[in-house]
Amino acid sequence: MFYALICEDKPGTLEQRLAARPEHLARLEALKNEGRLLLAGPHPAIESDNPGEAGFTGSLVVAEFASQADAQAWADADPYIAAGVYQKVTIKPFKKVLP
């Protein structure tokens, strides 16, 4: 089943986010290569694809996991957690309807 990982950044953590980004992206690439990633990306703090110093307010990952517990374990091991970027991660089952 797909799960939506709705991640919220702590304010003022842009530097930590940028430092941990390569490891974070590598984990997403692994999900993609396994055919389990539906979509992933950050939430810019302003209406811009490149928000610069405004940074980001969080991320959204929608991926396939065997269970919600597996999705939680994957989220708990994210480099953004270890770097102190995320203050909250909400995980919900997700049913793809369109497109």
The CATH fold assigned to 2-94 is Alpha-Beta Plaits (3.30.70)
In the chain, the N- to C-terminal Cα span, in Å, equals 17
Nearest-angstrom CA–CA distance, 95 and 75? 19
Kindly list the distances between the CA atom of residue 3 and the CA atoms of 14, 17, 82, in Å, as whole numbers in the listed order.
26, 23, 21
Per-residue pLDDT tens over the stretch 61-98: 999 999 999 999 999 999 999 999 999 999 999 999 99
Nearest-angstrom CA–CA distance, 61 and 11? 20
Tokens of 43: 């939430």
Do the beta carbons of residue 86 and residue 16 sit within 8 Å?
Answer: no
Q: What is this structure's pTM?
A: 0.95
Domain locations along the chain: 2-94
Whether residue 99 is preceded by a cis peptide bond, meaning omega within 30 degrees of 0, is: yes
**Average pLDDT, integer, range 17-43:** 98
